[in-house]
Amino acid sequence: MKPSSIIFFLIVATSIYFGLHYYLYNSLTKDLQLSVGIRRMIIVMLFMGGLLFFAGEILERMYGLHGFSYAGSIWLGFITIGFFIFILKDLSLFFSIPRHTAVYGALLLTLLLGLFSIYQAAKPPGLIEHRLSVGRFPQDQSEFTILQLSDLHLDGYKSETWFAEIVEQVNRQQPDVIVMTGDIIDDRYERVERFLPLLQQLKSTHGVYAVSGNHEFYAGIEDFYKLMAQANIYVLKNERISLGNTLELAGIHDDTAKRFGLETADLDSILKNADPERITVLLSHKPVDFDKAVALGVDLQLSGHTHGGQIPPMNLLVRLAFKYSHGLYQMEDSYIYTSSGTGFWGPPMRLFTSPEMVKLTLTGKPDF
């Protein structure tokens, strides 16, 4: 990735980040009669809290100190939720609600929703189940189960206990195949190596398969390959393989690969000469190009990346950015499922979304 691109991204991200702080300060203070001293205290608190996120990232990456990063992520989450709530507060003023009442209500709601979102993210992921009728399903087979994990974001402060429970839940389903649709790791190898014994415990009839997400490239794609190889998880790198006589499984690099000088996916060549008698399943981290995949004969696309928005206002933004933002969609006789993610990124918080693992049972179309 070019240094100029990194610098540009940091400038834009920092401007947006502190812009949120300025909006909150302005929205908070303009409607209350506060002394100069209290206003200065609020400025200092917002500025120091804002710096906590950057200090935490530096201390974690350079010295392995997790606490500051964790606190900084929570601060980011509260600021983001607060931004959303205070926009609603400003809109509520058009309905003649007393200004000081609206401000105190927004502060209380931000606190309560922030705490609830931490609880939501800490919950074990729920199991989402769907049965899908597929036209090319083998007549000599009753069903085929796929267990999808996505966006685990294994890093320095996710616990082995949390992941061990996920592994146990997955294996309890006894799936025919386990797939992982990107953003599995979010840190360098030394920081995520401790999850290796648990990754090795994932079991299914046909094995475990994965594709890269954008965060694999940020963390180090070679570290990702190394960890997956040691865990006996096969990474599909713009390729297609056969799983028995049932289906062909294709997997593509996330398009972030291009920014790191690696080959990007060419769906036409990957899906060329796919067996017309077998189901074709495509693993793609981002829920994009589904229309093209359908035209090329894909029966099911599995994606992630969006987290279902994770916390507001991202919940709304991902719906604008992605046509297939979360859940199951159908086009003609083909399907796409976009997972809200098994873990979380950044703030350990979820609001209006829940972590999930997805069990998809493929069956033949009923005879009438």
Looking only at the bridges linking them, the beta strands covering 208-211 and 177-181 are parallel
The pLDDT value recorded for residue 367 is 61
Per-residue exposure over 252-286, b if at least 16 CB sit within 10 Å of its own CB, e if not: bbbebbeeeeeeebebeebbeebeeebbbbbbbbb
Q: Which among 278, 279, 285 has a CA at the least distance from the CA of 224?
A: 285
**How much is the pLDDT for 2?**
63
Q: In the block, which residue shows the tokens 């790791």?
A: 185
Q: Tell me, what's the pLDDT at 194?
A: 97
pLDDT digit string (tens) for 303-345? 999 999 999 999 999 999 999 999 999 999 999 999 999 999 9
Please, how many CA atoms are within 13 Å of residue 363, restricted to the half-sphere of its CB?
10
Q: What was the pLDDT predicted at 348?
A: 94
Residues with pLDDT less than 70, the chain = 1-3, 64, 367-368
Strand partners, 249: 241, 281
Of 189, 92, 130, 23, residue with least CA distance to 357: 130
Cα–Cα distance measured from residue 153 to residue 186, given in angstroms and rounded to the nearest whole number: 5
Q: Which domains does the chain have, with CATH numbers?
A: 3-122 (no CATH), 126-364 (3.60.21.10)
Q: What residues pair up with 43 in beta bridges, in sequence order?
A: none
96 sits in the region (left: phi over 0; alpha: psi -120 to 50; else beta) called left
Bridge pairing between strands 144-149 and 177-181: parallel
The pLDDT of residue 1: 57
Burial class (CB in 10 A: 0-12, 13-18, 19+), 57: middle
The whole-number pLDDT of residue 86 equals 95
Q: Is 64 left (phi over 0), alpha (psi -120 to 50) or beta?
A: left
Dihedral sign, CA of 9, 1, 153, 58? negative
Positive or negative, the Cα torsion across 272, 214, 332, 295?
negative
Q: How far apart are CA 120 and CA 294, in angstroms?
A: 35
Q: Which is nearest to 145 in space by CA: 123, 162, 125, 128?
A: 128
The C-alpha atoms of residue 5 and residue 9 are separated, in whole angstroms, by 6
Helices (H), 234-312: 267-271, 290-295
